[in-house]
A and B are shown apart, each in its own frame.
Chain A
Amino acid sequence: MSLKDKAAIVGIGETDYVRGAGRTEVDQMVEAARKAIADAGLTRDDIDGLMPPPVLTYTEELAAKLGIQELKWASVVAMGGATSTAMLQNAAMAVASGIAKNVVVVLGWNGYSALRPKPGVPPGRINGPFAFENILQDFYAPFGVTLPVQFYGWLATRHEYVYGDQTEAKAAIAMAFRSNAQLNPKAITRGRPLSLEEYMSSRVISSPFRLYDCCVETDGACALVITSAERAKDMPHRPVYISGVAEGHPYPADDIPSREDMLKVGIHSAAPRAFEMADIKVTDADFIQIYDCFTNIVVMQMEALGLCEPGGVADFVKDGALEVGGKCPINTHGGLHSQAHVWGMNHLIEATKQLRGDAGEAQVKNAEVGIITGWGDLGDGSVAVLRR
């Protein structure tokens, strides 16, 4: 059995994306979930499946706070930033098999407030270890590596060694996402376009990443409601079908240095499987939302998706190709780079809006097929093909 078009996104909900929410992660998750359930024309009594985010809350708590009394199925995907898109695969399996009817998929955090303590802001809460915590703690952190910007820096340096300097590609990516964000009312950087001069003069955070190679830090939450294709037909909004979906993992996934080919990441194996399931080529997409934690990571994913040969991104992105109206619009909402960082769940929200025809100023004309990627932990990947 293939999952192709067996499930659909029928509800979306999101909080404001802010710097300083002044409330807990879970409070924001509850708001997003309530909005998504209402958007689907459902009540909480219709919800029998739940996918909470990893680490930030747990099933029992989120179900209790939402008042979901008859929970039949719950599952947690722990793939860092690849979680959101990978969750689509699990949710689709649950509704396609009939184990659950309507699944709420939730992601939210205080990515701005909780990562560095700030006065008057509730501290962040970690309920469990992340996937590679013991290896990070015992073998990376003693050498000053505690964050993605640092361990992805290893990948990016090696990629630039093999395929050449990516400055031109990275600048174009950063400016395109910032440009797209100017069309998005919820983007944290709206009103602040980015010039080449600003990009080039921004300080280095961890080489080869400059400040404007990095995503923004925000507080916020997003949620989706996923149901079967049959039920989706009778819902208030045009269904957005999960046409192809896959996850992929580098090997070994819990340690970067010991990989035979450090530049082979999860997307390399996920993308062909997702495209095969959906029966599309990457060029069939009307837009792509790429998990853009850092520009070099976007470069690596564009190559892994097959948009161009490795090293070819600088040519591909010329002439505003990635902007709304360009030949290959990417991150039409501004992405993690310029809209907000909600672990890529905001990519899925934007993709759904595009395919409903509700993307406002950023609407891609006649958008029928969209590709969404997730990237997380030490290079885990997920890819979804959505269609209307």
Chain B
Amino acid sequence: MSEELAVEPKPLPKPGDPLHQQYWAFCNEERLCFQKCTGCGLWRHVPRDMCAKCWSTDWEWVESSGKGKLYTWTVVERPMHPAFFPDVPYASIIVELEEGVRMVSMMRDLPMDELKVDLPVEVLFERASDTVVLPYFRPVQK
């Protein structure tokens, strides 16, 4: 069934917002970067034009350590999107980075029954197309 339906490619970011474009341009260089408010010092993600806390419109892009902890997840067994049929089961995760921001990703290199809250994880880049590199996460390598 999956072969028959997997004609549609996986959805990749199609950023129209310039800030979204910049985030993904960094990923394409295998750098995980977030905005840091120069007004109040708060890190933020998803990208936004203004700090919603202090209303400063000044920020800088700062590279993350790429290390964090698993915050929550869902193990997908029946995706509706046919492009993900060959990947099941996969864990869609939310990671809390050391800098405090949280982001969506997918877990690599971990059996599904070993997912647990606060598991230390680190970023792992994988190229998805000529222009897109996706930041995945795996357990921190000892």
Task: Write the chain B residue with the least CB distance to A259.
Answer: B102
Tell yes or no: B64 within 8 A of A by CB. no
- Interface flags for A246-261 (1: CB within 8 Å of B; 0: not) read 0000001001111000
- Structural contact, A139 and B92, CB atoms closer than 8 A: no
Interface-centre pick from B75, B76, B117 (highest chain A CB count, 10 A): B76
- Structural contact, A207 and B134, CB atoms closer than 8 A: no
A157 in contact with B72 given A134-B20, A144-B106 (CB within 8 Å): yes
Interface residue from A134, A207, A255, A262 paired with B75 (Cβ < 8 Å): A207
Report how far A156 CA is from B73 CA in the complex, Å.
Answer: 9
Q: Which stretch, A13-21, A146-154, A332-340, touches the partner chain B?
A: A146-154
Which residues of chain B are within 8 angstroms of A205 by Cβ–Cβ distance? Answer: 77-78
Tell yes or no: B38 within 8 A of A by CB. no
Which residues of chain B are within 8 angstroms of A154 by Cβ–Cβ distance? Answer: 72-74, 92, 94
- Structural contact, B75 and A142, CB atoms closer than 8 A: no
Which residues of chain B are within 8 angstroms of A158 by Cβ–Cβ distance? Answer: 71-72, 117
Which residues of chain B are within 8 angstroms of A143 by Cβ–Cβ distance? Answer: 92-93, 104-106, 134, 136
A139 in contact with B75 given A134-B17, A256-B94 (CB within 8 Å): no
- Structural contact, B14 and A137, CB atoms closer than 8 A: yes
Which residues of chain B are within 8 angstroms of A141 by Cβ–Cβ distance? Answer: 11, 13, 81
Which residues of chain B are within 8 angstroms of A134 by Cβ–Cβ distance? Answer: 16-17, 20
Report how far A169 CA is from B49 CA in the complex, Å.
Answer: 43
- Interface flags for B46-64 (1: CB within 8 Å of A; 0: not) read 1000001000000000000
- Structural contact, B77 and A138, CB atoms closer than 8 A: no
- Structural contact, A139 and B103, CB atoms closer than 8 A: yes
- Structural contact, A142 and B80, CB atoms closer than 8 A: no
Report how far A316 CA is from B26 CA in the complex, Å.
Answer: 50
Distance in Å from the Cβ of A155 to the closest Cβ of chain B? 8
- Structural contact, A206 and B76, CB atoms closer than 8 A: yes
Which residues of chain A are within 8 angstroms of B90 by Cβ–Cβ distance? Answer: 144
Distance in Å from the Cβ of B69 to the closest Cβ of chain A? 12
Tell yes or no: B128 within 8 A of A by CB. yes
Tell yes or no: B79 within 8 A of A by CB. yes
- Structural contact, B92 and A153, CB atoms closer than 8 A: yes
- Interface flags for B6-42 (1: CB within 8 Å of A; 0: not) read 0000111111110010011000000000000000000
- Structural contact, A258 and B106, CB atoms closer than 8 A: no
Which residues of chain B are within 8 angstroms of A308 by Cβ–Cβ distance? Answer: none
Interface residue from B72, B92, B132 paired with A144 (Cβ < 8 Å): B92
Which residues of chain B are within 8 angstroms of A262 by Cβ–Cβ distance? Answer: 71-72
A257 in contact with B77 given A138-B24, A146-B11, A154-B92 (CB within 8 Å): no
Interface positions, chain B 85-106, Cβ under 8 Å from A, are 87, 90, 92-94, 101-106
Which residues of chain A are within 8 angstroms of B104 by Cβ–Cβ distance? Answer: 139-140, 143, 145, 257
* B→A interface (CB under 8 Å): 10-17, 20, 23-24, 44-46, 52, 71-81, 84, 87, 90, 92-94, 101-106, 117, 128, 132, 134, 136
Given contact pairs A138-B13, A146-B81, A206-B75, a sample of 7 additional A-B residue pairs in the complex whose CB atoms are under 8 Å apart: A137-B11, A144-B76, A144-B87, A204-B77, A206-B78, A206-B79, A258-B46
Between-chain CB contacts (< 8 Å), 9 pairs = A139-B103, A142-B11, A154-B73, A157-B72, A161-B117, A203-B77, A255-B46, A258-B44, A258-B101
